[in-house]
Structure 1
Amino acid sequence: MIARRDDRRPGASTPLLADLLAGKLLDPGYAEAAARRAASAPPRRLRGPGVLLVLLLAGILIAVAGAQARRGEPVAAEQRARLIDEIHARTAETDGLQDRVDRLRARTERSRAAALARSDEGRRVRGRLAGAGAAAAALPAEGAGIVVTLADAPPAARHPAAESGRVYDQDLQVLVNGLWAAGAEAIGVNGRRLTSTTAIRAAGEAILVDYRPLTGPYAVTALGDPDGLRDALEGSPADRRLAALRDRYGIRYEVHRTSGARLPGAGTLRLRYAAPAPQDGQ
């Protein structure tokens, strides 16, 4: 037996649901009773004083709601300004502490390098540490590469759906993954160095990179061979996605070469669930 093909579009109502909505499944007795009540019940009217009373109560409620809203506006604005000031103060404090950590880390690195340089074994250890630090993005990196700039669409060129002209965290994620796939040796966003555990997320309207809020435009720096990076990025899924956003919604998407970019170290990673791989024979 060949099943009959169903040509209805996805989401179309089934016959049972359509009959129910059309009232075809209603019991005839209920339908007759409802019809009798509708025919015998006298029309309900609001007399003049009743109408005036309802209108008066509605006006009082609207006036009270408007007065409360007007009183609440200055309080809400004051609270918002206080929160913004506190955010700026905490951000400045965090930036100051981060600068201090960077200086102490650089001083520690110089002292360690000087101590290791006193012996052959120390110099060999220093070489291994430098290689591991570069792989873990713990040390600064510099050299040639490319800079990819993403920015919200300007108001004059913004799509009627204004939210579509914004850069979101998913866009940065796609771009960063595309640059890693293109062979980037090191990547940073607005000067923030990325590691294998760096998160790019959204919190409200802000984009967080390594849990630090960043503002546009977003300059994504990738170190490596500039020609090789551009060739590998061009035509990739990341490039096609961002080019489509640029063409359709006016988002700024530009790629240019750089010959002397520098990215800071990301600091020491804290591994919570990793352990050294066992050596052969152990």
Structure 2
Amino acid sequence: MKLPQPAQLVTGVVFGLIGTLVVTNVTAQPASQLRRQDNVRLRDLAIAESSQVAQLQTRLGETEARVVALTEGESQSAQSALNSRVQQLGDQAGVTEMAGQGLKVTLSDAPSLDPVVSSPSNVPPEAFIIHEEDIQAVVNALWRGGAKGISIMGLRIIESSAVKCVGNVLLLQGQVFSPPYEIYAIGDPSFLEQSLNTDPGVARIKESVERYRIGLAVQRQPLIELPAYVGPLVQRFAKPLQ
């Protein structure tokens, strides 16, 4: 057998290497293209996902802003309602200042030099002075007439306030007052007057006005300013008689 010559061997090896390179190049090229295509798709997908995330973040921010706005609006509305309720309760309890139209009622003892007063010898001296039940009758009538607030001698009272007279002096909230006694009530003047005119206790005062010259004056006031009540909020007396 004839052996191949060295030149032929070299030539064969060279051609073999060339063939291998060609095959390798042909086989590798599609994989590289696939990788490039995959990279392109991944890049596009990442861009799309980033865009979607950005949109979601924007929507989330807008939603949070709306929630904050709604919460603040509800808080302001709730706070306003709460303040209104506190003011209403404060007015009812008498612990806040108050102003408005209403009535001024003045009660005074009979004049000592009145000839009508000095003539009856069988009438006790107590008949010619204002008593605590007279003051309480006026106050009760004013409450029933819809008074929103009442003061006696400049002191705000509430429904549980104690009215106490010793002789012809008034004891109220630790202070002593002498007649005439001024009572202010805020409310509808017509309703307040109607309640005074139909109250049995006030009717007895009017009888004393005729018989003993007890003083009773009722005046409408366009503006009354009442201070806040200062004192214990303990119920010691019943509400106005019905």
TM range (shorter): 0.5 to 0.7
Per-residue deviation, 1:269: 4.5
Determine the structure 2 residue equivalent to 1:29.
Answer: none
For residues 204 and 238 of structure 1, do their structure 2 counterparts lie closer, same or farther at Cα, with a shift above 3 Å needed? Answer: closer
Query: Are positions 1:132 and 2:97 aligned together?
Result: no
Match among 121, 126, 150 for residue 107 of structure 2:
150
Percent identical: 29
Contact kept, 8 Å, 2:173 with 2:231, in 1: the verdict is: no
In structure 2, what is the Cα distance between the partners aligned to 1:163 and 1:239?
17
Contact kept, 8 Å, 1:187 with 1:193, in 2: the verdict is: yes
Query: Are positions 1:185 and 2:154 aligned together?
Result: no
Query: Are positions 1:259 and 2:216 aligned together?
Result: no
In structure 1, what is the Cα distance between the partners aligned to 2:166 and 2:105?
23
Amino acid at match of 2:182: A
Contact kept, 8 Å, 2:101 with 2:188, in 1: the verdict is: yes
Per-residue deviation, 1:254: 1.1
In structure 2, what is the Cα distance between the partners aligned to 1:147 and 1:193?
14
What SS does the corresponding residue of 1:229 show, helix, strand or coil? Answer: helix
Contact kept, 8 Å, 1:199 with 1:211, in 2: the verdict is: no
In structure 2, what is the Cα distance between the partners aligned to 1:233 and 1:138?
25
Match among 230, 234, 254 for residue 197 of structure 2:
234
Q: Which structure carries more relative contact order (alpha carbon 8 Å, separation 6+)?
A: 2
In structure 1, what is the Cα distance between the partners aligned to 2:151 and 2:127?
25
When the two structures are aligned, how many residues end up with a matched partner? Answer: 155
TM-score (norm 1): 0.50
Amino acid at match of 2:126: E
Per-residue deviation, 1:151: 0.3
Per-residue deviation, 1:235: 3.2
Per-residue deviation, 1:239: 2.6
Query: Are positions 1:244 and 2:207 aligned together?
Result: yes
CA-based RMSD: 2.2
What SS does the corresponding residue of 1:155 show, helix, strand or coil? Answer: coil
TM-score (norm 2): 0.58
For residues 151 and 227 of structure 1, do their structure 2 counterparts lie closer, same or farther at Cα, with a shift above 3 Å needed? Answer: same
Contact kept, 8 Å, 2:91 with 2:148, in 1: the verdict is: no
Determine the structure 2 residue equivalent to 1:276.
Answer: none
